[in-house]
Structure 1
Amino acid sequence: MATAVALIPLAYLVLRTGQGGLRAWLDTVATERTATLATTSLLLAAVVTAACLAIGVGSAWLVTRSNTPGRRAFAVLLALPLAVPSYVAAFTWVSVSDLWAADPGTRFEGFWAAAVVLTLYTYPYVYLPVAAALVRVDPAQEEVARSLGRSAPHTLLTVTLPQVRPAIVGGGLLAVLYVLADFGAVSILRVDTFTRAVFTAFSAGFNRQGALTLASLLVLITVVILLLEGRTRRAGARFSGKHVTRPARAADLGVWRWAGLAGLVTVVVAALGVPAVSLARWMASGTSGSDATGRLWDAAVGSLTASLLGALLTMALALPVGILVARHPGRLSRALERTAYLAHGLPGVVVGLSLVFFGVTVALPLYQTTWLLALAYATLFLPLGVGAVASAASQAPPSLEEAAASLGTSPAAVFRRVTLPLTLPGIGAGAALVFLTAMKELPATLLLRPTGMDTLATRLWSATAIGRYAEAAPYALVLVALAAVPTWLITRRSGILPAAGDREPLTPVELVEETTAVELLEGVKA
């Protein structure tokens, strides 16, 4: 079922592009404009992903494994940019840059402006899984390396990071797919990418076939990225919470801890300070309309309703796939997981149009209902749910399920009484992440929302598109505030806490004694 939902946009693309024939497809692909769009899109994705990996991994290590001051506060603050939609961030950066620019004719736009904005609001996709993985990694291997004379940097590069490579690669995959599918920031900052070209062609209505051809090329790029990611993930060890009985010792950075603090402050101020200044300025300008409060309330209810339905439907579809990936790894489970990612790399407008076609031709009772919009969210954000469930299920010991089955419990009862409770933390985290992301989704919401229904994202876009920033400010503020709640919950549930420092590394004798004790305890529990 989950695979069928993920394949709806792909089936729509194949059907529509196939109507024009292979020759028409090649004529559109083999052009200088397509080459330029591909180069710009891939280069932007590469730059942003590299920056996200640097910021995400670095900040995760500083928060979980160093004695940098204020780590507990930064553990939450570093995740909050995830609550800011890219189009809101782009508008606020343009607004602040116009206010402070020395030359009034200079506008904050272009490739590097988009790279900065997308990096600042995408790096949490790397930071959160890497920080959670670092918390769960058993420090014994690092302590053995240090006791053998390896330096701290050498241990970090050769022992610690390889253990969390799946989290790094998975976060990088989400970042690169997010950048390829982003529409809001690149449109506002005037960067020609595949997504902007597709949306422009659809909205203008002059070349729908060409837009679908570009979208199909984006699918092919996503397939190549998924193949490369699969090879990289299989090359690294998977992290696990098993045998972790104590936190790792916090590294003493000495005077360099202040440099780490400065880096974290810079990231937080840039990501959160600029939108805060801009939104405060917009709010100070006042709002227009006597029924502004009523429209704001209706939009908030619309956002909450659609996002909640989308999160529930997504997790219902993601649960069997995630458990299959964790409990029965193989070609089938890997193929199902990769299929879920294909639609995640598509522009929301393509997913929206495919579901409009699906609703009109296949599921007419769903057309113009909130459930069709929820189905679009499930199609777009299914990988977020699958990843959360698979991670939680892989952390849970399968021996408990095997013991229940050996006692004569039916498979359905084992799932209900053992597997599901063990996976609930992942289900909750996945639901919060999908809910958060659905609240920010714009193109699919614009196409699929029922007539008369508004969301915070659509009202915000309508106001900012015509330069009515004062009217847009309340919608942006409420959207960010509501999205910050699941972001905070995700951070707290992930177990990201500052490392317990002030403990000396174990000597080889102590390490052997502790390892033996752990093994004995495991034997007793078994």
Structure 2
Amino acid sequence: MTTDLSARVRSTTSESTTTAGRGTRPRPPFGVSVISILAVLIALFALVPLGYVAFMTGATGWSTAVALIFRPRVGELLLNTIMLVVFTVPICLVLGVGGAWLVERTKLRGHRWWAVALAAPLAIPAFVNSYAWVSAVPSLEGIWSGVLIATLSYFPLVYIPAAATLGRLDPAIEQSAASLGLGPWAVFFRVVLPQLRIAMTGGGLLVSLHLLAEYGAFAMIRFDTFTTAIMTQFQSTFNGTAGNMLASVLVFFCLILLLVEVRSRGTARYARVGSGAQARPTKLALHHYQIPSQLALLALTLLAFGLPILFVFRWIFAGGAGIWSADEFLPALLQTLGYGTVGAAATVVVGFPMAYLAVRHPSWFSKMLELSNYITSSLPGIVVGLAFVTVSIRLVPGIYQTSGVLIAAYVLLFLPRALVNIRSGLAQAPKELDEAAQSLGKAPLVSFLKVTLRLTAPAAAGGAALVFLAIVNELTATLLLSPNGTHTLATEFWSKSSEIDYSGAAPYALLMILLSAPMTYLLFQQSKKVAGQ
């Protein structure tokens, strides 16, 4: 009898293992069709700004559109924008990759401290950086001032992915090249640099898109770009045709940048295949370059982080205790926290259906839906803001300048920040656990909440933190869409600084930096975690 019972147990176990081995997918919490419908609706919602640009261009008429686009003013703005991108992006690439190489591949003293210090400028909004530099040098204006401020604000966007990539590269290839007689510089340019291609193109794209979207930093130094010109047109003629045509040119420029980045990735393999532990990198001794390297990094950190902090505190001390009136800055702080929290939560919730479809049911359909969100997020905040202004006024006038519209704009602008994290979390949550829960009689929704959602929660929280950081520092869409009486830290800072009340603006700048610093550190730590460090 004992033998028969053992045989039955083995038979049952074998059947269960065979069934599990067939790769039966867990049933989604609401069904594939419902999740697909939600994902399609989200994708259509994400295409509202592109639809707005296409509609306004068509409604303007061909002859009028040509006359407005091909005029000297547009040529001037296009030249300014191209020059800004052409000069700023290469400098950011040099600073970002150079800093990452020093930290990750050399015997730089204090390299752990420098690793964090080079990421720290990302906690300072570009318009706060411009405010500090104008305080230091009031005569700043023009293209070179724009390049200076943009470079100091955005080079960490290249440094962080470059450092993460260097951290996870297998140094065996570098060691082999060195053993064949190549010197350190030859190894760097012929072996290391090609493997940083994806990090460099991705970082360069982020810098370029930030340059196209930035308003406050360039308006403060009186440097005209498409974004500053569109805002000026909006303020003078509300939803004028000229401003809409400028927005269409700006959108076209953004799409060109996206295509260039996709083509520049190439088709080379960067992954390491094979068993065994990754070798530890051989860090190069700097010798007599140690002091120049330390001085260069110190100068960069002081200019990008130290100077803005110095002048924020200088204006705070100059203003005295009177600028800390709770009646003014406390509502702005609370509303910023409220919008940031609600916007981050809404973005994560909206991102879940598309992420679930992409991970659990991958197909060309899910990829196209996901791509629509990335295209929209690449558009400047002013274009998204104008789209929501037009759509709300023409279709649903009752929702114009309501908190719901502003939250919806935040979701569109920053959805990819949450989507990437949620996808990563779902990919690391084994579907077999969901299958096991359902095989034990749990409903799909219950198993999703108790298993998949709990395993994905840390990644979703990281995505929410990044969205929160973006909302805290968002200016243009908030200026266009915020309800009457809304005061955020960014808009109050801009209101005070526009009135040349630099002391009054300083507390808002400090609060934005204090809110941004932990999120910036989280972003840095996430990149190092991905690198396996």
TM-score normalized by the length of structure 2 = 0.82
Structure 1 residue 128 corresponds to structure 2 residue 168: no
Question: Contact (CA 8 Å) 1:368, 1:451: kept in 2 or not?
Answer: yes
CA drift of 1:467 comes to 0.7
Distance 1:22 1:114, change over 3 A: same
The residue matched to 1:495 in structure 2 has which SS?
helix
Deviation at 1:331, TM superposition (A): 5.5
2:472: which partner in 1? 439
Report percent identity of matched pairs.
Answer: 36
Aligned with 2:141: secondary structure? coil
* More moved, 238-247 vs 56-65: 238-247
Instruction: Pick from 46, 71, 82 the counterpart of residue 31 of structure 1.
Output: 71
Unpaired runs of 5+ in structure 2? 1-40
Structure 2 Cα separation of the partners of residues 417 and 133 of structure 1: 34
Change in CA separation of 1:146 and 1:371 when aligned onto 2, cut-off 3 Å: farther
Q: How many residues align?
A: 489
Contact 2:164 2:531 in 1 (8 A): no
Kindly report which structure 2 residues correspond to 1:432-471, keeping only aligned pairs within 5 A, or say none: 432-471=465-504
Q: Paired residue for 2:515, among 469, 478, 482?
A: 482
**Deviations, residues 187-221 of structure 1 (Å, cap 9, x unaligned):** 11111111111110001117711111111111111
Are 2:48 and 1:8 equivalent residues in the alignment?
A: yes
Whether the aligned pair in 1 keeps the contact of 2:437 and 2:447 (CA below 8 Å) is: no
Change (3 A) 1:24 1:149: same
**Aligned partners of 1:154 and 1:393: how far apart in 2?**
41
Q: Deviations over 1:404-431 (max 9, x none)?
A: 7699879978976777666655434432
Match of 1:21 in 2: 61
**Distance 1:56-1:477 versus aligned 2 partners, 3 A rule:** same
Shift of 1:144: 3.4
Q: 1:382 aligns with which of 411, 415, 420?
A: 415
1:96-137 Cα offsets, whole Å, 9 max, x none, are 113xxxxxxxx1111000111011111111111222222222
**C-alpha RMSD of matched pairs (Å):** 3.3
User: What's the counterpart of residue 136 of structure 2?
Assistant: 96
Q: CA deviation at 1:80?
A: 1.7
Distance in structure 2 (CA, Å) of the matches to 1:284 and 1:333 = 54
Give the Cα separation in 1 of the matches to 2:323 and 2:263.
58
Q: Which amino acid aligns with 1:163?
A: Q
Deviation of residue 342 (structure 1)? Answer: 3.3
When residues 148 and 386 of structure 1 are mapped into structure 2, their CA distance, relative to the original with a 3 A threshold, is farther
Between 1:385-394 and 1:198-207, the stretch displaced more is: 385-394
C-alpha displacement at 1:250, in angstroms?
Answer: 2.6
Q: Secondary structure at the match of 2:319?
A: coil
1:225 corresponds to:
257
AA matched with 1:381: F
With over 3 angstroms needed to count, the CA separation of the structure-2 counterparts of 1:412 and 1:353, relative to structure 1, is same
In our comparison, the structure showing a higher alpha carbon Rg is 2
Please say if residues 288 and 470 of structure 1, whose CA atoms lie closer than 8 Å, have aligned partners that are also in contact: no
Q: CA deviation at 1:242?
A: 9.2
Partner of 1:56: 96
Tell me which moved more, 360-369 or 46-55: 360-369
Question: Structure 1 residues 255 and 115, CA, compared in 2 at 3 Å: closer, same or farther?
Answer: same
Give the distance between the partners of 1:148 and 1:415, measured in 2 at CA. 54
Letter in 2 for 1:467: I
* 1:472 match: 505
Distance 1:238 1:422 in 2: 29
Partner letter of residue 334 of structure 2?
Answer: V
Aligned position for 2:189: 157
Residues 62 and 411 (structure 1), Cα distance of their counterparts in 2 relative to 1, 3 Å cut: farther
Conserved in 2, the CA contact under 8 Å of 1:133 and 1:164?
yes
Task: Tell me how far apart the structure 2 counterparts of residues 82 and 301 of structure 1 sit (CA, whole Å).
Answer: 23
Deviates more, 1:23-32 or 1:329-338: 329-338
Q: In the alignment, is the contact (CA less than 8 A) between 2:344 and 2:465 conserved in 1?
A: yes
Q: In 2 relative to 1, CA 165–319 (structure 1 residues): closer, same or farther, beyond 3 Å?
A: farther
Change in Cα spacing, 1:274 to 1:285, as seen in structure 2 (3 Å) is same
Is the Cα–Cα contact under 8 Å of residues 234 and 240 in structure 2 kept in the other structure?
yes
Report the Cα distance in structure 2 between the residues aligned to 1:434 and 1:241, rounded to whole angstroms. 34
Show the counterpart of 2:114. 74
| Contact 1:310/1:435 (8 A) holds in 2 | yes
Measure how far apart 1:392 and its partner are.
6.5
Q: Does the 8 Å CA contact 1:247/1:499 hold for their aligned counterparts?
A: no
**Structure 1 equivalent of residue 372 of structure 2:** 339
* Residues 401, 482 of structure 2: 8 Å contact kept: yes
Once the two structures are superposed, the pairs formed by residues 170-185 of structure 1 within 5 Å of their partners are: 170-185=202-217
Partners of 1:423 and 1:403 lie apart in 2 by 13
The answer as to whether partners of 1:56 and 1:123 remain within 8 angstroms in 2 is yes
Stretch deviating more after TM superposition (419-428 or 68-77): 419-428
Alpha-carbon displacement from aligned partner over 1:58-111 (angstroms, at most 9, x marks no partner):
11222222211111112222112111111111111011113xxxxxxxx11110
How do 1:324-363 and structure 2 match up within 5 A? 332=365, 335-360=368-393
Distance in 2 of aligned mates of 1:497 and 1:348: 29
Question: Using the alignment, how far apart are the partners of 1:241 and 1:451 within structure 2?
Answer: 57
**Contact 1:164-1:237 within 8 A present in 2 as well:** no
Give the unaligned 5+ runs of structure 1. Answer: 99-106, 501-526
CA contact (8 A) 1:164 1:239 kept: no
- Residue 237 (structure 2) pairs with residue 205 (structure 1): yes
CA distance in 2, matches of 1:295, 1:120: 30
* Aligned CA distance change for structure 1 residues 160 and 149 (closer, same or farther; 3 Å): same
1:28–1:213: 8 Å Cα contact kept in structure 2? yes
Pick closer, same or farther for the CA change 1:274–1:327 going to 2, 3 Å: farther
8 Å Cα contact 1:137/1:241 also seen in 2? no
- What amino acid sits opposite 2:73 in the alignment? R
* Amino acid in the other structure paired with 2:338: T
The answer to whether the aligner puts 1:492 opposite 2:525 as a matched pair is: yes
The CA deviation string for residues 314-363 of structure 1, in whole angstroms up to 9 with x for no partner, is 23334454566678887555544543343334332331232233444556
Contact 1:226/1:338 (<8 A) preserved: no
